[in-house]
Every structure is written in C-alpha cells, then in structure tokens.
Structure 1
C-alpha cells in the first residue's frame, strides 16, 4: 500500500473544488453547532475527515497527508504546554488568594460605568509591556473577568474588552512574536511597522475606547450590580481568604519577568509554584490538597452562589476537552494545507485584483480565512506574506503595507476563532461561550476596517519604487 501511494502523482485541486470544499466545511461547522449541538471539536474532526478523504481522491497517499499533519502539530506543542500551564495557574492563584484578592481590590476601585474602558486600557498596556497576550489573559484577564461578574457586567461584553486589549497590546509590542513575524516575513523593521499601524491599530483603539466608554455609561440603565451586592461579594471574599499584599507576588513576578523577555513557559511555571506556596502559607492548604487542586481545579464552597461559580475553575484536567479541540484543529489544518485549498483560492484571487484597495481587502479576507481554517495566526502571516509579496510590489506599494495588513488581518483574530490557541484560552479562562464575545472585540474590527478604508482612499499607503525585476529601488515614498 505504501509503495503504491509513493508512485501516485497527486492532482492539483481546482478552484471549483476548493470553493465547494470550503462550503462543505462551513455547512459541517454550522450543523455541528446549531443542529447537532455537539462540541466544536467534533465539527473540526468531521472537516478533517472530509479533507483527508478528498486528499486521497486527489492522489495523495495517507503517509504524505499525515506527515504534514505531524509537521503542523509540532507547531502546536508550545500552545498545548501553555494551555495546560494556564490550568495550573488559575487553580493555584485562586487557591492562594491571588485572584480573589485582585477581584476584591477591583470591586472596591473600578466603577461599572468605566469598567469596559478600564479593562481595555489595562490589558492593552500590560500586553504591550510584557509582549504576551496569553499571559495577560490568564492573569489580569482572569481577575478582570471576576470583577465584571461582581459588578454585574455581562461577561461577553467584558470578554470582548479584555480580548481587544490583550491582543491590541500584543500586536504593538516589540517583545511579541506576532509583530516580529509580520515584520520579518516581509523584510521590514518592526519600528517601521509600528509607525505604519498608528492610523489603523491606533485609530481602531481610539474608536474601541470611545465605544467602551459609551457602553459603560449605558450599562446602569440595563441593571448593574447594586452597592449592597458588591459589598456582599467583597465581604464574602474577605471572609473566605486571608488577604494581604504579599498575595500579589505571583502575578507581579510573571509581569516583571515577561517584560524582561524571559521565556513565558518557565516564568508561568514558577508563577504556579509561587501560588502553590502562598496557598500553603497564607490559606492553610496542605501540599497534598494543593497538588490535587492544580490537577483537577479549585472548588469553592463559601455558600455564596456568585463567589462559588466564579472561583470554581482551573486545573489541568478541566482543559482536556480544549486540548482535544486543538489537536483536531491542527489535524484539519495539516490536511487542508497539504491538498492546497487555500493556495488555489489565493492564486485565483490575485489574478483578478486590479487596485490597491481590492488587494488589501483580499489580503485581509484571506488572512482572516486562513486563521479560521488553519487555527494559527503564524500560518496565516507566513502563508499570506509569501502569497502577496509580489502583488504589493507590482502595485508600487512599500512592503510595510503588507506587514501592516498581515498584522491587522490575522493577529487579533487568533483570540476570536474558538478553535485557535488564543480562542481556546479565552473560552477556558473567562468561561464565555464560543463566538459570544466576538461582536464586542471592537479594536479588532475597527483596526481591520480602517486598514481597508485607507487602502481604497489611498491614504497612509506609503509607496516604493521597484525595477523591472521588482527589486527595490527606493522606499518610503509618500502616498
């Protein structure tokens, strides 16, 4: 069988086949979610099965197909380790009192009217300083989610503001891998990329901030938590944990060492150890008990329904389903990449692009689609950067325009797609339903829309001069 597969020459997939397959995938995902009401992972697995079978029909051998699955899965291992660590982090920091203490402080300081705006700014600033959206989401984001519950803020709205801030700060941080990849894949300086993003990501941040402020001042009219309810929550937390300023040591440690550009995984692991130590020292939890907590999750039994539902979470085993979702997503992505569905569609699209506005629009749409189908921001940036490089040069555009479009079309959406690493983390950390928070991630939508609008208006689109071989002659020419 293997020898037979090696001799077969696979046929290149056609445009019609690629489009029909995409339609089938969409139908499968909709059917799984809305009709079967099955887990998202099952829909992704069904798509992977269809993709694999069609790959065999095209002439690909099983060994060839799955060798690409293994290659893509290797890129998922850091995300899987990170995801498992976040389960440890949330359980250890709740048991230690770190997260409850932050919620306690936040309920006393942050007012419901400015919560969304404050959450957006705080997470954006923290992610920009540390360069890790995931780290901020699982620490500061988790605490802010608890504060939102205490203040009576609808969780999808709060999650939208938190995700907007985390991923906005991440894509504008020189310490983050995402903007560095977007710059490197097009041969650009990262500072030049950040400067070019001021009108798009910067403009989107301003728009998002204004919307969050307006929404915040409208929230009391729809019923926020009363002062009495907030006081009861704070009193309940204070009665259940021994609060002191030293409980902030784990989160301060993670922030500082992430900002100093130490690797995220060992920093988070030490943060878990610090949390476990503080749980034993300050909360009287035994070593055997805290070991079980970080594995299976923290179970709150204060008697207060809100507090118990808020704090009963975390643990490595609570993420087992989400880990399986990631495995399913990367299996699907590996098969999809191997049979060339996205490559075929992109090639045909580029042949029809006649204006810079249409070029940027196509670039944004295919970047978003690649994240949606491959579940990876990295795959999207690398693939689209390679596919669109020549087209941008033909249009006489500085390649920083390509870097910016890759960033605006892919980076934020890693936190919005439920089966991507970032999306899985959002769902597990904040406890929101898939897609429920997506409409409230205004910084993502605004930045993307401004990128396309400016391209059609031909403003903030620096030009460059190329010779007949499309080699750079002069760059940075004003639009």
Structure 2
C-alpha cells in the first residue's frame, strides 16, 4: 500500500525556524562580531535545525530518518566544495610564502593608479573569472593580491573586497566554463549560449552602473599616500625575493584552467608548484616559519608543509604588512567547513519537513503577470539562498519550482534561467552563512557584512532583473519571434 502524500506545513509554522535563525544570528553577530564564525553561528544554525526537526516530527508527521537522509544528501552535495576550500587554503598559504602574491602586490602598486584602482580591480577580476569560470579561484588568487594593493593605497577593506567580488561574480555568471552558469541553463532546459546571450540584457547594464560607481569612488578617494606605497614596496622587496620568475605559477594555473582541468587538480598543482618555488626563492622565510636558523633542507621542507596546512606569521616590521602576509593554510578553512556542515543540517531539515516548499509556494501566490512572476522567482531564489545556504541547491530548486509556471504563462525558459542567475548566483556571496559568503569572507579576511554594501554588482543584479521584466525589454512569449 502506497503512502498518502504528506500535507505541507502551514507557512506560519514553516517560518518559525527561519525567524529563530535570523533573530539568533542577529544577537550572535552583535555579541561576537567577526568572531561569530568561530563557533557561535554554527551553534545557532544547529539550534534552528533542531527546532525545525522537532516541529516537523511533532506537527508534520515527518520521520527522523527522512531528515537524516536530507541532511546526508546536502552534505554529500557540498563534499567537493569542502575539498576545494581546503585546497584554496593551501593555495593561499603557498602563493603568499613563495612570494607570488607579494610580487603581484609589488608590481601592482607601481602599475595601478589609486584613482582607477577600484574600477581596475573590478575589471581585472571580471576578465580572470570569465577565463577561469570560477569566482572562488579568482578571489583566492588575484583577489588576495588586490586586497594588499588596496591596503597600501589607503582603500578600506570593504571597498576593495566589494570591487573584487563584483568583478569575480560578473565573470562567474557570464563564463561558459562556470558550473553555476551551466547548471542554471541545464535545469531550465535552455542551451548554454542562449542563456548567456540572454543574460547580457540585465548583466551589462548592471556592470556599467557598477563600474561608474567604482570610478566615482576612485576619483573621490583621498587616502592615498605615496610614501606608504613606497614604504610597502621597500619592505616587501627586503623580506621577499621579488622575481618575475614567480609568475610561472599564475601562468601555469591559467594554462590548466584554459585546458579545462578539474578545479581540484588545478588548485592542487598550483599550490604544490608555489610551495616548491618557495624552497628556491624564499628559503629564509621557510626557515623562519619552521622556527630554526641557518640553511637546512629538512627545516625548509618543514616550513613548506606548515605554509600549506597551518597558520604562518612573518615579521615585516609594519603592522599592516604583518596582517597582510599572514596566512592560515588549510587549517584556517576549518571554521568555514564547520559552518557549511551546520548550514547543510538546517537546509536538510527545512527541505525534508516541507517547510521550504511551503514558504516558496506562498511567494508563488503573488504571481499575476510577467513582473510579479520574475519578482517571485527572485524572492524565492533569495529565500533558498538563505535557507539552504548553498547556491547549487538554490539554483536547482528555483528552476524546478518555477519551470511549469513559466511554461503555463507562456514565457520562454531562458527568462527563468536568467532570473535564477540574477537572483541566486550573485547574491550567494552576500549571505554570511551561505557557502559563498563564508568562503569569500574567509579568503579575503573581510566579514560579509563589511563588504556587502560595496558589492554593487551583486546588489543591483536582482533589482535589474525585476526592472527589465517590468519594462518588458526582449521578453518574448513562447513561439514569438525576436
């Protein structure tokens, strides 16, 4: 005998775990600030997941095994992302200690004029992200170097991180190599390049507005200190062996990406190559990290391994540079991984209980026409990003939930795929407990709430999607000709 379909919980009941999460996170962040990611936020997510599970079992007839399975599926879905995070930690450590990032900072300070730094950072990250198809890789490599240049030129961490993330997520969104771009088009049954071309109508205006804002901000910047730039350059060249030969690492990384090597392979080989070059170019620093004096190949090897897995601190004789060149390695990613696992528990409980579906169904009720349809899709995407804490899950669920509705209302599937990217892909970096928000905050060393107001591309994208829908520009019914 087949089980009868379970009735979805009411929207009011479904909203309880989400409201508990938001309220507790508000107090947690108020109390702990940026340290909230060290454990407090994880506990809050687990409490919200527990409340959701209790309500589901008590009022919805959900069995604990169903919740366990949903959590397991969620964790399995982010397992590769967790490995990528660990390798990003190793890459950040090896690129710094080997001198790759200091070399990029050294020459970048000489090339990038302060007035054009923010807009240049945005454009550079956009180009690199288009080529790599990965915002994560872009931010973990060139993004870290740009943070150092911005620090030297007197820009606040929020502005610099906002420019980096804006550019990186533009490229991630528009690149045919991006997994989120491929996923959004696949879920909506839209050919990849049709999807990319259609995104131009909302993405290009958003990027242009973003670049104008960063250009104005750059010309309004008055904190640049030439003496500080010169001082930074001098100290970096004294402590590190600055060499263009170190650019072999980003070049090889670019070649691997161009040849579409898997991200895990690319990150591993890039980190390993940088670590090996550290033995030749920065042996004195490896000895310092290992805690010994004098040349010793064994201690150099020890220092190299420590730079890959652990926290390192090189004394630069300048507080800002001390903070800039410090690394946390793979171990520094463990708080983020713990947060991801906790977020997956909450997302699994919300999914298995049917509470997530109940909340998104409420948004569907407001659909009356083209604009409200796109607005509901954007709202659902944002809600899913908040609840599931993972952009991949959010893309899949958004596409599946609205696919039939777009078809019934006579709108092309490419409108759904574009709106999904506008709502989900770019906003994932703005949510502190989302995998993307956690990763970017950890890699750049800037809390999500600090850089959020300056991620203009990410903030404007969902608004632009709704605005273009309201205007109706290039939005065609099924079987209509362009």
Tell me if TM exceeds 0.5: yes
- Listed as ranges, the matches of 1:422-433 within 5 Å are 422-433=436-447
Residues 33/240 of structure 1: CA separation in 2 closer, same or farther (3 Å cut): same
* Aligned counterparts of 1:458 and 1:219: Cα–Cα separation in 2: 38
| Alignment pair present for 1:15 and 2:11 | yes
Of 28, 32, 37, the residue aligned with 1:32 is 28
Give the secondary structure class of the aligned counterpart of 1:49: helix
Verify the 8 A CA contact 2:8 2:355 in the aligned structure 1.
Answer: no
> Residue 197 of structure 1 aligns with which residue?
199
> Residue 382 of structure 1 aligns with which residue?
396
> Residue 469 of structure 1 aligns with which residue?
none
* Aligned counterparts of 1:35 and 1:429: Cα–Cα separation in 2: 23
| Alignment pair present for 1:458 and 2:467 | no
> Residue 416 of structure 1 aligns with which residue?
430
Superposed CA deviations along residues 357-387 of structure 1, whole A, max 9, x for unmatched, are: 0110010011011011111111111111111
- Listed as ranges, the matches of 1:326-341 within 5 Å are 326-341=340-355
- Larger mean Cα displacement after TM superposition, 336-345 or 233-242: 336-345
Verify the 8 A CA contact 1:185 1:382 in the aligned structure 2.
Answer: yes
- Unpaired stretches in structure 1, ≥5 consecutive residues: 1-6, 465-473
Query: Structure 1 residue 59: deviation in Å?
Result: 2.2
Of 89, 97, 106, the residue aligned with 2:108 is 106
Verify the 8 A CA contact 2:381 2:398 in the aligned structure 1.
Answer: yes
> Residue 468 of structure 1 aligns with which residue?
none
> Residue 219 of structure 1 aligns with which residue?
221
Verify the 8 A CA contact 1:329 1:420 in the aligned structure 2.
Answer: yes
> Residue 168 of structure 1 aligns with which residue?
170
> Residue 261 of structure 1 aligns with which residue?
260
Residues 21/297 of structure 1: CA separation in 2 closer, same or farther (3 Å cut): closer
* Aligned counterparts of 1:8 and 1:30: Cα–Cα separation in 2: 40
* Aligned counterparts of 2:409 and 2:172: Cα–Cα separation in 1: 30
Residues 173/230 of structure 1: CA separation in 2 closer, same or farther (3 Å cut): same
* Aligned counterparts of 1:159 and 1:431: Cα–Cα separation in 2: 9
- Larger mean Cα displacement after TM superposition, 133-142 or 444-453: 444-453
> Residue 136 of structure 1 aligns with which residue?
138
Query: Structure 1 residue 303: deviation in Å?
Result: 1.3
Superposed CA deviations along residues 424-443 of structure 1, whole A, max 9, x for unmatched, are: 22111111022211111111
Verify the 8 A CA contact 2:74 2:348 in the aligned structure 1.
Answer: yes
- Larger mean Cα displacement after TM superposition, 348-357 or 231-240: 348-357
* Aligned counterparts of 1:363 and 1:11: Cα–Cα separation in 2: 23
Query: Structure 1 residue 257: deviation in Å?
Result: 1.1
Superposed CA deviations along residues 233-289 of structure 1, whole A, max 9, x for unmatched, are: 000000001111111111221122112211011111011111111110111131111
Give the secondary structure class of the aligned counterpart of 2:450: coil
Give the secondary structure class of the aligned counterpart of 2:323: helix
Superposed CA deviations along residues 379-413 of structure 1, whole A, max 9, x for unmatched, are: 11111111111221222211110010001000112
* Aligned counterparts of 1:150 and 1:187: Cα–Cα separation in 2: 47
> Residue 470 of structure 1 aligns with which residue?
none
* Aligned counterparts of 1:477 and 1:201: Cα–Cα separation in 2: 22
Residues 261/309 of structure 1: CA separation in 2 closer, same or farther (3 Å cut): same
* Aligned counterparts of 1:363 and 1:259: Cα–Cα separation in 2: 34
> Residue 396 of structure 1 aligns with which residue?
410
Of 362, 367, 384, the residue aligned with 2:381 is 367
| Alignment pair present for 1:52 and 2:53 | yes
> Residue 279 of structure 1 aligns with which residue?
278
> Residue 289 of structure 1 aligns with which residue?
303
* Aligned counterparts of 1:235 and 1:276: Cα–Cα separation in 2: 24
* Aligned counterparts of 2:266 and 2:171: Cα–Cα separation in 1: 19
- Larger mean Cα displacement after TM superposition, 310-319 or 119-128: 310-319
* Aligned counterparts of 1:420 and 1:16: Cα–Cα separation in 2: 24
Give the secondary structure class of the aligned counterpart of 1:289: helix
- The number of residues matched between the two structures is 460
> Residue 3 of structure 1 aligns with which residue?
none
> Residue 315 of structure 2 aligns with which residue?
301
* Aligned counterparts of 1:75 and 1:131: Cα–Cα separation in 2: 20
Give the secondary structure class of the aligned counterpart of 2:449: coil
- Unpaired stretches in structure 2, ≥5 consecutive residues: 287-299
> Residue 289 of structure 2 aligns with which residue?
none
Superposed CA deviations along residues 198-227 of structure 1, whole A, max 9, x for unmatched, are: 12011100110001000111111xxx2311
Of 150, 157, 160, the residue aligned with 2:159 is 157
Verify the 8 A CA contact 1:204 1:446 in the aligned structure 2.
Answer: yes
C-alpha RMSD of matched pairs (Å): 1.7
> Residue 66 of structure 1 aligns with which residue?
68
Give the secondary structure class of the aligned counterpart of 2:426: helix
> Residue 477 of structure 1 aligns with which residue?
481
Q: TM-score, normalised by structure 1?
A: 0.93
Give the secondary structure class of the aligned counterpart of 1:314: coil
* Aligned counterparts of 2:430 and 2:93: Cα–Cα separation in 1: 24
Q: TM-score, normalised by structure 2?
A: 0.92
Verify the 8 A CA contact 1:127 1:136 in the aligned structure 2.
Answer: yes
Query: Structure 1 residue 35: deviation in Å?
Result: 4.5
* Aligned counterparts of 2:17 and 2:397: Cα–Cα separation in 1: 19
* Aligned counterparts of 1:143 and 1:412: Cα–Cα separation in 2: 22
* Aligned counterparts of 1:330 and 1:20: Cα–Cα separation in 2: 18
